[in-house]
Amino acid sequence: MNAVAQGLQGMRSWWSARREAAEAGPRLPVRDRVMPARAGTPQLSGFDQVLAVLVVALVALGVVMVYSASVALPDGPKFSRQSPTFFLTRHLMSIGISVVAAAVVLRVPITVWEKYAPHLFIATLVLLVLVLLPFVGKVVNGSRRWIPLGFMNFQPSELAKLAIAMYAASYMVRRMETRENFFKAVWPMMAAVGFTGALLLRQPDMGAFIVIAVIAMGILFLGGVNARMFFLISAVLVVTFAGIVALDEYRRVRIFAYLDPWDPKWAQGKAYQLTHSLIAFGRGEIFGQGLGASLEKLHYLPEAHTDFLLAVIGEELGFVGVAAVIVAFFVIARRMVAIGRQAVALDRVFAGLMVQGIAIWFGAQAFINMGVNLGVLPTKGLTLPLVSYGGSAILMNAVAIAVVLRVDVENRVLMRGGRA
């Protein structure tokens, strides 16, 4: 009888604990909860290992594929003075700089980013203005998007993606009480995005503007903006982008070329990249032609090591390689969203919205790049995050990942009863 009484008492204690936990707040799914650390737990368990491993895997794949896609470029007149390893060396140098920057950012508390988010956004706007000046900005392929720094060409629009995620999250935290009022909560944020977009379109860089607008819209929605206002803003943005395309002959022609790339009128002109990208995917079939065996990279497919690197992956590694990349980005975005939700559940709204904004950034940009390569979306000058060649892009991707991991580390410390 004593044993039965003790068993019943234990069950009552267990149910009481469950009820108190339920009353304390919402419970996260099992996959998103972090259990208290046991004695002797390795330090590596202090952050999301799946996220870190996938990021490293994509960067490693990028190193291999950038070399494969660029090794033949010196055979052409444009890069005849460069060695076959020129782009590989610069890519590795950019990764090295990015790792150092990420290690520094990983040590910065999130409260610091929250405090200086508006200042970072203003500094980004200043850089976007400076890059438009003839004696500052560098022109490549008709676009003035880069500021030469000697060791790399820095692209302010890459910083703008991180800055808008931080600023929008900070803005929503500061305007939480008035988020149902369009003129007090939404209009100022949209004005900031519009001004940023105007500067980006002067470069021109419509792809970056689309990504930044999507980040801001996503954070506004996650921050609790009224659904009717959200759809109203979405309609305004769609009309704006449609108007930009309709009034710009260059972009309008690219849309026509995208709609019918095999038309002889476009196949050797505006749709040249798209047609050769589709040919690359077609040659890859299921398992690919083999690493290094791409033909399209041999001066047929322009920008094969940057915007159209996925086409080279498809030709050399086939459907299996492309599917692996797609799954990796899906899991990365999903893990970021889980970290953001966890932060919000711990009453760290800025950190949560910022991380989910970064997830939207990586997910949206990867989706657009893949869509362009596969002919699903019109051609845009956007790289594949973590994979494509590009110094400032890799740098800002690494900094963003470090910020996400810092939020995850602080979440786990708080859930163990510590202080972030």
pLDDT in tens, 154-192: 999 999 999 999 999 999 988 877 666 666 667 888 889
Candidate ranges 171-185, 187-201, 331-345; pick with highest mean pLDDT: 331-345
Residue 373 lies in a domain: yes
Tokens at 176, concatenated:
């939480």
Classify residue 17: in a domain, yes or no. no
For 71-116, write each residue's pLDDT tens digit.
999 888 888 888 999 999 999 999 999 999 999 999 999 999 999 9
Domain enclosing residue 304, as ranges: 47-415
**Would you state the torsion angle of the CA atoms of residues 136, 139, 145, 149, taken in this order, to the nearest 10 degrees?**
-50
> Would you say residue 42 lies in a domain?
no
In a domain, 210, yes or no: yes
Decide if pLDDT at 36 tops 50.
no
Give pLDDT, residue 45: 46
CA distance to 13, 206, 292, 318, 404, per residue, from 219 (Å)? 41, 20, 41, 35, 15
In eight-state DSSP terms, residue 31 is: G
Note whether residue 111 is domain-resident: yes
Other beta carbons within 10 angstroms of residue 259's beta carbon come to 11
Residue 14 located in a structural domain: no
Query: What order do you get walking across the sheet with 143-148 strand by strand?
Result: 138-140, 143-148, 153-154
Strands, DSSP E only, in 149-292? 153-154
Q: Is the pLDDT of residue 32 over 50?
A: no
Tokens representing 148 are: 């030469």
Neighbouring-strand partners of residue 140 = 143
Cβ-proximal residues to 72 (8 Å cutoff; 6+ apart), any chain? 84, 297, 298, 299
The least confident of 58-72, 148-162, 193-207, 218-232 is: 218-232
Structure confidence at residue 33 (pLDDT): 42
Q: How confident is the model at residue 40 (pLDDT cuts 50, 70, 90)?
A: very low
In this structure, is residue 38 part of a structural domain? no
389-401: pLDDT as tens digits: 988 999 999 999 9
Q: Are strands 143-148 and 138-140 parallel, antiparallel or unpaired?
A: antiparallel
Indicate the number of domains in the chain.
1
Rounded to whole angstroms, the Cα distance separating 71 from 66 reads: 8
CB atoms within 10 A of CB 283: 18
The answer to whether residue 395 is domain-embedded is yes
Mean pLDDT over all residues of the chain? 85
